Structure 1
Amino acid sequence: MDERNYRSIIDNSKFKKFHLIILFLCTFIVISEGYDLVIYGSIVPYLLDEWSLTTVEAGAIASYGLIGMMLGSILLGILADKFGRKNIIIVSVIIFSFFTGLSGFADNATFFSWCRFFAGIGIGGALPNAVGLMTDYAPKALKTTLIAIVLTGMQIGGVVAPLISMNLSPTYGWQFVLWIGALPLLAVPILFIFLPESTNFLVLKGDTEQLTKTIRKIDSRYIIQNEFTASNVGEAIMNSPLIIFKENQRGNTILFWVAYFMCLLMIYGLNTWLPNLMMKSGYGLNSSLSFLIVLNATAIIGTFLFGRIADSWDSKKLLVVLFLLGSVSLALLGFESNIVTVYILVGLSGACTMGTQNIANAFVSQYYSAAIRSTGLGLCNGIGRIGGMSGPILGGFLLSWGITGPMNFLIFAFAGFIAAVSYFFVKVPKALVEMS
């Protein structure tokens, strides 16, 4: 024990009840934000009819939420490295749950858009911090797998949202599915009691008592020793956003930003417009919503499968191969096929775009050190949200211009190809390779 500090204890630990609690709560948080995010794509056909919106206007409303997500990812990601991930996670949950519920009372597009914007701030802040907290405490041998499980929450929420919309909106109205989005407010006291604070923040505060109490949930024999040396505290406070641009990280950071931009453009464009694109191809509303369910469901399967592979194989190579496969599947989706082939292509597109982006988040969260993890991941997701904003707007314009089905899908597929190329040129540090 004398030679073991808290970091080595966490890295070499076995999966315990403590890890299960963090895994469950972080996954719940991401499921909730996934529901709040995807629900707009599930109700947009009703809004187009009720408020007489054009597709361009509906795409703009989706982007207002993504503008909020961009700001939330960047600002709350940076603040979490200074004020604690647990605190920012709870604030994020309160924000996105409250404003999603409030949007159910909207009777015009303007009020609804403002609610989506503020909900987006909370959604943007929750994801990088939930992932960052899981990364802090995950055993090294299971790190990518556990992070991937947390990230499947986004797709679980993405499956639940259209299911609820399909079954409840015709009877209770589209407003009811938004009010359901406020339910995570009830879980805030549970998060406050059971979520641990990040180790890096405890070191920054010099809180020996809380750090000891937390690590003893993993190893009851833990004795505080050299955790608060000047170098450790110095690392903890080195969380200026500019740190991620230091010489040995600058190139990779830019490549991450390009990849996130392109991938989120593809993901949010599809989540918003896939039902309408399929309706334009001749499918009914319920059938088109079922494609959205398949898209998100296969992303869950892909995340579990790819997460296990990433823990034993080269994550970078895996990302390149999967994004290329996703691009090809998406491109083929625009051409006329039988229904079985369409479902297979939608499934591959979901697994190899959203599922692969989950693995990318796990990869990037391990690339940046603990001191700047939320900052690095938050900025990546924040820049990615610019792409996310562009996706719904691009889809709206493509539909309004009467672009043919194949071309719509080819344009989104090209974004996935650029993401694959970006990861191909990432230089992986030796330490991260050895961790894989």
Structure 2
Amino acid sequence: MRSIDVNTIIDESRFTRFHWNIVLLCSLLLVVDGYDVFIYGSVLPQLMEQWQLSPTEAGSLASWALFGMMFGALFFGPLGDKVGRKKGIALCFLLFSTATIINGFASTPLQFGICRFLAGLGCGGLMPNAVALTNEYAPKKLRGTLVALMFSGYSVGGMVAAGLGIWMLPNFGWQSMFFAAVVPLVLLPLILARLPESVGFLIRQGQQQKARLVLGQLAPQKALAAGELDYHEAKGGKASVAELFRHNRTLCTLMLWVSFFCCLLMVYALSSWLPQLMKSAGYSLGSSLSFLLALNFGGMFGAIAGGWLSDRLGLPRVVVGFFLFGAVCIAMLGYNSPMPVLYLLIFIAGATTIGTQILLYASVAQFYSLSVRSTGLGWASGMGRIGAIAGPMLGGVLMAAQLPLSANFMAFAVPGAISALAMVVFAISARRGAVTQPTPATA
């Protein structure tokens, strides 16, 4: 019996309604994921007033969800390989939605923090499974673009959190923002009914007929009636961490880690503290939340535009340019600017911080060879998670110090300058041919 190469069918398939369905559904999942992550920045001003939280306590409370995301990615990401992407997505979605709803009943900071940690577990596990599913079914020539489009749902979730906050917080209180999670929970069965299971998982489980039906939707022009389906999965995820520092990769690896740490530090420092900082500067709660809306709108634009620019100018140039531009715009937020200029600065700050996360992942994928790529991505992402935890804490320390507004934003801008310098060093080292040339990949 002849063998049918599933990887080739997927790589060479034309973009169809089937692909659009996967991108749309995974984007919706990330909209809810992003909402859950960015909700804290929306409710923070009211929480600090109601519970009399100090800035340091508020910063620490923000990190509970980020600790959960780190552990969730480590546990639920690999779990999806064992039980299937759909089951992994359903479990993570159910966990963070339920925890978020219960969060609305929290009456103490401790109860609030525990619920945020549980919600973070689900958020951290959902993203790698949604990304893996989109990446697995995307045609090779569109893979980077489709993943970037799917990732934009994360920023849309932040926009929804800010937009709902403008209306719901003054009228219904901070609890209503968490009770709103019941809506996506009701929609979960509909999403799962239309979301296909990983074809690689189906083949590994010996479910050839189900895999054949899925591939029939993906590439209806192919004849799949006869032959056994064969799916090749990339190996190399078990490479040791030491491999990241061999073959003259040490400097480049360290610079990537620095960039990831600083990038996510900026993202979560801004998303957690931007409304409170602007409120303390004299802006109303509604205006402060509209700034968070502009930040995430910029993040969505930056993710898509960054991928498009990288295909034409090269990843290192775009990443360095984004970081430098972002650092300048964030530093300028602390000065008295006309409202249109202020919104523009915040929009650019979102595009060059939230949007640059995807470009950094692409940079890692380009740099490492296949045998160590998974390990490189995992450890770089781990360094980023540490930065994400440190970001809200840094904001709390700065607020507690009662520094001028300009000094706070200047401190948030410094990691951007450090990231730009680190990526310059990375690009120079890689260009000198210190390591074997990686397989080309698009952003």
What is the CA distance between 1:48 and its match in structure 2? 0.8
Match of 2:274 in 1: 274
Residue matched to 2:194: 194
Distance in 2 (CA, whole Å) between partners of 1:256 and 1:204 is 34
Equivalences for 1:298-313 in 2 at 5 Å? Answer: 298-313=298-313
2:49 matched to which residue of 1?
A: 49
Q: Kindly state the Cα deviation for residue 111 of structure 1 after the two structures are TM-superposed.
A: 0.5
Contact 2:273 2:392 in 1 (8 A): yes
CA pair 420-11 structure 1, distance change in 2 beyond 3 A: farther
Between the aligned partners of 1:249 and 1:153, the Cα distance in structure 2 is 37
Q: Following the alignment from structure 1 to structure 2, what is the Cα–Cα distance between the partners of residues 125 and 329? A: 32
Opposite residue 385 of structure 2, the aligned amino acid is: R
Q: Distance in 1 between matches of 2:368 and 2:137?
A: 15
Structure 1's 153 and 412: CA in aligned 2 closer, same or farther, altered over 3 A? same
Contact 1:73 1:378 in 2 (8 A): no
Identify the residue that residue 333 of structure 1 maps to in structure 2: 333
Greater shift in the superposed pair: 366-375 or 96-105: 366-375
2:440 corresponds to? 433
Helix, strand or coil: the match of 1:268?
helix
Residue of structure 2 in register with 1:403 after alignment: 403
Give the AA of the match of 2:360: A
TM-score by length of 2: 0.87
Give 2:153's aligned residue.
153
- Find the aligned partners of 1:180 and 1:375 in 2 and give their Cα distance: 37
For the aligned residues, what is the CA RMSD?
A: 3.0
Residues 1:46 and 1:342: Cα distance change in structure 2 (over 3 Å): same
- SS of the aligned residue for 1:433 comes to coil
- 1:349 Cα deviation (Å)? 0.6
Letter matched to residue 145 of structure 1 = T
**CA displacement 1:125-166 (0-9 Å, x = unmatched):** 111221222111112222222111111111111111121111
| Higher RCO (CA < 8 A, seq sep 6+) | 1
Give the whole-Å Cα distance in 2 for the aligned partners of 1:372 and 1:421: 25
1:379, distance to aligned residue in structure 2 (A): 4.8
* Amino acid aligned to 1:433: P
| Count of aligned residue pairs for this structure pair | 431
**Deviation of 1:203 (Å):** 4.8
Answer yes or no: is the 8 Å Cα contact 2:159–2:297 preserved in 1.
Answer: yes
Following superposition, the deviation at residue 353 of structure 1 comes to 0.9
Q: What is the CA–CA distance in structure 1 between the aligned matches of 2:242 and 2:198, rounded to whole Å?
A: 20
Q: Distance in 2 between matches of 1:419 and 1:75?
A: 29
Native 8 Å contact 2:369 2:438 kept in 1: no
**Mean Cα deviation higher: 137-146 or 55-64:** 137-146
Distance across 1 between alignment mates of 2:248 and 2:3: 30
Q: Is the Cα contact below 8 Å between 1:200 and 1:371 reproduced in 2?
A: no
In the TM superposition, residue 81 of structure 1 has moved relative to its aligned partner by 3.4
Residues 307-316 or 362-371, more deviating: 362-371
Residue 123 of structure 1 corresponds to 123
User: Equivalents in 2 of 1:210, 1:378: separation in Å?
Assistant: 31
Cα deviations across residues 32-75 of structure 1 (Å, max 9, x unaligned)?
01111111110111111111111111111100111001111222
Contact 1:68 1:121 in 2 (8 A): yes
SS in structure 2 of the partner of residue 217 of structure 1: helix
Structure 1 122/339 Cα, relative in aligned 2: closer, same or farther at 3 Å? same
Q: CA 1:433/1:197 → structure 2, altered by over 3 Å: closer, same or farther?
A: same
Q: Please report how far the alpha carbon of residue 377 of structure 1 lies from its aligned counterpart in structure 2 after TM superposition.
A: 4.8
Change (3 A) 1:367 1:103: farther
CA change 1:94–1:322 in 2 (3 A) is same
Quick check: 2:14–2:219 contact (8 Å CA) kept in 1? no
Provide TM-score, normalisation by structure 1.
0.89
Report 1:84-233 matches (<5 A): 84-220=84-220, 221-223=222-224, 228=230, 232=232
Distance, in Å, in 2 between the alignment partners of 1:316 and 1:373 is 18
Match of 1:80 in 2: 80
* 1:434–1:262 distance in 2 versus 1, CA, 3 Å: closer
Q: Name the aligned partner's letter for residue 281 of structure 1.
A: A
- Percent sequence identity is 38
Partner of 2:345: 345
Structure 2: runs of 5+ lacking an equivalent = none
- C-alpha separation between the residues in 2 aligned to 1:75 and 1:363? 25
Aligned residue type for 2:314: D
